[in-house]
Amino acid sequence: MLRRGRGEPFHGEGILAITKALLQSGVAYVGGYQGAPVSHLLDVLVQSRDYLAELGVHVEACSNEASAAAMLGASIHYPLRGAVTWKSIVGTNVAADALSNLASPGVTGGALIVVGEDYGEGASVIQERTYAYALKSSLLLLDPRPDLARMVRMVEQGFALSEASSMPAMLQLRIRACHLRGSFAAEDNVAPAISARHLMEDPARFDYGRLAHPPVTFRHEKLKSEERIPAARRFIAEHRLNEVFPGRRSDLGLILQGGLYNSTLGALQRLGLADAFGESELGLFVLNVTHPLVPEEIRDFCRGKRAVLVLEEGQPEFIEQEILATLRRFEVDTPIHGKGFLPRAGEYTVEVIARGIADFLAWTAPEVELEAGRRWLADIVERRAAVARALEWALPPRPPNFCIGCPERPVFAALKLAQARVGDVHIAADIGCHSFATFEPFSMGHSILGYGMSLASRAGVSPMMRRRVLAVMGDGGFWHNGLITGVQSALFNGDDAVLLILKNGYTSATGTQEILSTPSPALKDEAADKTESLVDRNRTIETTLEAMGVRWLRNVDSYRVDAMRATLEEALTTDFAGLKVIVAEGECQLERQRRVKPWLAGMLERGKRFVRVKYGVDEDACSGDHSCIRLSGCPTLSVRPATDPLRIDPVATVLDGCVGCGLCGENAHAAALCPSFYRAEVIQNPNGRDRFAAGLRGALIRTLRAS
Ligand code: SF4
Ligand code: SF4
């Protein structure tokens, strides 16, 4: 799809359309740090390295968002178009320093930051707005209407706008826009004039004005308001980047962020105020660029209207306030409504928007017929109540969980056992799959202060605590930030700290992207038994820690619960007062299974014998206290009714999905549980000996049963 040329149809997801748009825009370099909902963008570009090399486009998988933002520095002097991507708001926080220093001198080549606005019902991070960064650093903020052709156009125009104004641009994509599917007519990709194939002869001449350093920063600040923002406004107006859909009524209107267009139209349809083709009763002013706003466009849309409603997701209501101030300056007295009728916080779904518009119209234009819409809204309430009644209780929450066989689960089982002996400890948690330990059955973690920040976040707690504090971090977090923010600081200050690094080999939570300590491709090829847990042969994390001066360092197999328990106890109680690091090593099971399954399918197809390990529970031995479940949380370890009619409590059972990670056996041993677990070997494509042995065993069992 990325190779499609002029006029050819491109079908796919929104985020992939953006990827194609970058190539159509002549981008010379791309980078970023993965995170939902924009992980695909970088993943696809990394996987398309060969094709991008043909175009001369450089791709960099950056170690964090700060390094991605700093990469845009290439556009300060050179006419190079560059794009980076990350998840916001968290990624923008990490990138903030570089963004300020980029926005101050401004850019020559267009600089585009594609941010995945992880806000609303499907979000996985704190709920804040990227908008504040656009305001404080004077960045352009594009919020395109979710339509593939429009999104592609906004990428292309975003670069041009960035160059016309010298301002870096952020293109904000909500979760729904990223995963929206559709089509557009492709254009040819544009190989950049200066690129990895066509190199620059010389660097730019020295220009102090291009540094973010006083005294030129004082001039930069003036340039922002006196030249750059006015230039941006001119470009936005001339190229009609914002859209007006007049509507059948000229007296009432809505001003909305571009990203809310589809939901708003859905809401208007439900209220009987729009048709399926986008024809609306009310006029719509769609802000595909939400910063800067163009005052004259606001004035022209609002002037003469009875009332206007501003749809602005999240808080504070920056856009609404600016519209109010703008109209005041123009002495236009159209009443403006917004957060009064719409909630301050939370995603603006179709239902939320419909309620807001209905209340707005009831207040400003009570003659508008809303009977059908009101009935639709009332039906939703009734349906929810009916579902609750039918279930007799609220739906149980279904929090995310470690994958079946995840190497991180045993570590938290061991930590549970260790705490039973040394006492509860303060646990500084982090971002990553291991944060699932904050849910049942572990419920561990006192704070999460950011990606790779756990060790740093315990610095203020440790000195005040009688027992040692434990910081938990993944290898993704370690390379992203933890190495410098936590380890360096703890060593420099001589802190008495314990760090547990979960080394699964990938940044698993964002889509198992590779990192410095990922098992090498050669190792994956060479491994005779593909089912084994592969590790980084170079011990990159361990050697880095040793080189930095860590003197207490242990590497423990994640699945060895008792060994892990003992090591944790030692770290929490030893007389050694410096930084203690435990590296829990076990390959991400998701990646492992991705490797194992095709290999196994091939083996079976060729008729090769394969032995698979599976765990099970002997019902007769199960005591029914379910402590194994409380220690594990594996989704395949479940309960079922006992077959013995005299037992009323359910017994534990292992469902089919078991990947035989061994945790059940390890837990039974480490926690001295009832001896109900058995380890079975499932033989596929058995040979003659296997069949003979199975026949013999079967006969023996039948004899014993009969006797
Ligand atoms: S993706 Fe990997 S590390 Fe994350 S929960 Fe699944 S198996 Fe564990
Ligand atoms: S051995 Fe136990 S913990 Fe491991 S996958 Fe099977 S049921 Fe789950």
User: Token pair for residue 169?
Assistant: 């641009």
E strands, 586-642, where? 610-617, 637-640
What is the pLDDT at residue 395? 66
Q: Would you state the pLDDT for residue 695?
A: 96
Q: How far is CA 564 from CA 556, 584, 630, in A?
A: 6, 8, 18
DSSP string, 110-126: -EEEEEEE--STT--S-
Backbone angle region of 406, left / alpha / beta, with phi > 0 → left and psi within -120 to 50 → alpha: beta
Query: Could you say which DSSP state residue 686 is in?
Result: -
Which of 634, 653, 666, 667 has most ligand 2 atoms within 8 Å of its beta carbon, as the pocket-test mutant?
Answer: 634
118-127, 242-251, 356-365: range with lowest mean pLDDT: 118-127
pLDDT band at 388 (very low <50, low <70, confident <90, very high): confident
Cα angle: 254, vertex 257, 258; to 5 degrees: 105
In a mutational test of the pocket of ligand 2, which residue from 654, 656, 673, 681 has the highest number of ligand atoms less than 8 Å from its CB?
654
Residue 239 reports pLDDT greater than 90:
yes
Backbone angles phi, psi at 291, to 5 degrees: -150, 125
- Please determine, for residue 394, whether its predicted confidence score (pLDDT) is greater than 90: no
Segment 14-41 shows an average pLDDT of 94
The preferred substitution site among 402, 404, 631 for testing ligand 2, maximizing ligand atoms within 8 Å of CB, is 404
Ligand 2 neighbour 583 (Cβ under 6 A): no
Ligand 2 binding pocket includes 615 (Cβ within 6 Å): yes
- Give the number of whichever ligand sits closest to the CA of residue 408: 1
State the pLDDT at residue 375: 96
Ligand 1 pocket test: pick from 402, 439, 592 the residue with the most ligand atoms within 8 Å of its Cβ.
402
High-pLDDT (> 90) share of the chain, %: 87
Rounded Cα distance, 358 and 252, in Å:
13
Tell me the average pLDDT across 394-417: 90
Distance CA 75, CA 158 (A): 14
**Ligand that comes closest to the CA of residue 628:** 2
Of the candidates 121, 111, 148, 123, the one whose C-alpha atom is nearest the C-alpha of residue 37 is 123
Q: Is the CB of 635 under 6 A from ligand 2?
A: no
Element (H, E) at 263: helix 261-270
Residue nearest to atom 2 of ligand 2 (CA): 664
Q: Please name the residue whose Cα sits nearest to atom 3 of ligand 2.
A: 663
Report the alpha-carbon distance of residue 381 to residue 235 in Å, rounded.
Answer: 46
Instruction: Give the per-residue pLDDT at 481.
Output: 95
629-649 mean pLDDT: 91
* Tens digit of each residue's pLDDT (9 = 90 or more) over 11-22: 999 999 999 999
**For the CA of 504, the nearest ligand:** 1
Q: Residue 652: which of 617, 678, 620 has the closest Cα?
A: 617
Burial class (CB in 10 A: 0-12, 13-18, 19+), 648: exposed
pLDDT tens readout for residues 445-467: 999 999 999 999 999 999 999 99
Sheet holding 169-174, edge to edge: 58-61, 29-32, 82-88, 111-117, 169-174, 140-142, 289-291
| 393: pLDDT strictly greater than 80 | no
Give pLDDT, residue 707.
81
Average pLDDT over residues 189-208: 96
Evaluate if residue 392 carries a pLDDT over 80.
no
DSSP output for 374-421: HHHHHHHHHHHHHHHHHHSSPPPP----PPTT-THHHHHHHHHHHHHH
Closest CA to 479 of 2, 61, 150, 110: 61
Question: How many angstroms is it from 504 CA to the middle of ligand 1?
Answer: 8
Tell me if residue 613 falls in helix, strand or coil.
strand
- Name which residue sits closest to atom 2 of ligand 1, judged by CA: 588
The rounded distance, in Å, linking the Cα atoms of 455 and 338 is 42
Q: Please list every protein residue whose CB sits less than 6 Å from any atom of ligand 1.
A: 402-403, 406, 408, 433, 504, 508-509, 588-590
**Lowest pLDDT segment from 14-28, 177-191, 580-594, 663-677:** 663-677
pLDDT score recorded for residue 57: 97
Distance from the alpha carbon of residue 548 to the mean position of ligand 1, in angstroms? 29
- For residue range 90-121, list pLDDT tens digits in order: 999 999 999 999 999 999 999 999 999 999 98
Q: How far apart are the CA of 654 and the centre of ligand 2, in A?
A: 7
Contacts of 78 (CB under 8 A, 6+ apart): 108, 109, 194, 200, 204
- Written as one string, the DSSP assignment of 275-314 is -TTS-BSSEEEEESEEES--HHHHHHHHTT-SEEEEE--S
pLDDT band at 182 (very low <50, low <70, confident <90, very high): very high
CA-634 nearest atom, ligand 2? 8
Question: pLDDT of 324-341, one tens digit each?
Answer: 999 999 999 999 999 999
Does ligand 2 come within 6 angstroms of the Cβ of 169?
no
CB contact at 8 A, 593 and 407: no
Determine whether the shortest distance from the Cβ of 617 to ligand 2 is under 6 A: no
Average confidence score pLDDT of the chain: 95
The residue nearest atom 4 of ligand 1, judged by CA position, is 433
Is the CB of 405 inside a 6 Å radius of any atom of ligand 2?
A: yes
Q: Is the peptide bond before 357 cis (omega within 30 degrees of 0)?
A: no
Q: What is the mean pLDDT of residues 309-313?
A: 98
Cβ–ligand 2 contact at 113 (below 6 Å) = no
| Per-residue pLDDT reduced to its tens digit, 259-306 | 999 999 999 999 999 998 989 999 999 999 999 999 999 999 999 999
Query: CA-CA distance, 148 to 152, in Å (whole number)?
Result: 6
Q: What pLDDT score was predicted for residue 376?
A: 97
Question: 597 C-alpha to center of ligand 1: Å?
Answer: 16
Q: Is ligand 2 within 6 A of the CB of residue 654?
A: yes
pTM equals 0.94
Mean pLDDT over residues 358-380, rounded? 96
- The whole-angstrom separation of Cα 706 and Cα 604 is 36
Confidence of residue 647 (pLDDT cuts 50, 70, 90): confident
Distance from Cα 84 to the centre of ligand 1, integer Å: 26
- The protein residue whose alpha carbon is closest to atom 6 in ligand 1 is 403
Helix, strand counts (H, E) of the chain: 27, 26
Averaged pLDDT, 132-147: 98
Indicate if the alpha-carbon torsion angle 510, 288, 212, 217 is positive or negative: negative
**511-540 CB burial, b ≥16 within 10 A, e <16:** ebbebebbbeeeeeeeeeebbebbbbeebb
Q: How far apart are CA 269 and CA 250, in angstroms?
A: 18
CA separation for the pair 496, 293 (Å, rounded)? 52
Burial string for 24-57 (b: 16+ CB within 10 Å, else e) reads bbbbbbbbbbbbbbbbbbbbbbbebeeebeebbb
Cα–ligand 2 centroid distance for 410 (angstroms): 10
DSSP 8-state class, residue 627: H
Q: 635 C-alpha to center of ligand 1: Å?
A: 13
How far apart (Å, rounded) are the C-alpha atoms in residues 407 and 419? 19
Ligand showing the shortest atom-to-Cα distance for residue 435: 1
Mutate which of 561, 637, 679 for ligand 2? The one with the most ligand atoms within 8 Å of its CB, which is: 637
Cα separation, 311 vs 526, whole angstroms: 57
State in Å: Cα 421 to ligand 1 middle: 28
Q: Which ligand is nearest to the CA of 561?
A: 2
Distance 421 CA to ligand 2 centre (A): 25
Q: Is pLDDT of 49 > 70?
A: yes
Residue-wise pLDDT for 467-513, tens only, equals 999 999 999 999 999 999 999 999 999 999 999 999 999 999 999 99
pLDDT per position as a tens digit, 422-452: 999 999 999 999 999 999 999 999 999 999 9
More confident residue, 39 or 574: 574
Chain segment 537-572, per-residue pLDDT in tens: 889 999 999 999 999 999 999 999 999 999 999 999
Residue 673 has pLDDT above 80, yes or no: yes
Q: Which two tokens stand for residue 604?
A: 């079976």
With beta carbons less than 8 A apart as the criterion, state whether 235 and 162 touch: no
Distance CA 20, CA 185 (A): 11
Distance from residue 609's CA to the centre of ligand 1 (Å): 28
34, 406, 593, best to mutate for ligand 1 pocket (most atoms within 8 Å of CB): 406
635 Cα–ligand 2 center, Å: 8
Q: 121 phi and psi, to 5 degrees?
A: -60, -35
User: Do residues 583 and 487 touch, judged by C-beta distance below 8 A?
Assistant: no
Query: Which residue type, as a one-letter code, is found at position 422?
Result: V
Burial of 662 (0-12, 13-18, 19+ CB in 10 A): middle
Q: Which residues pair with 679 in a beta bridge?
A: 615
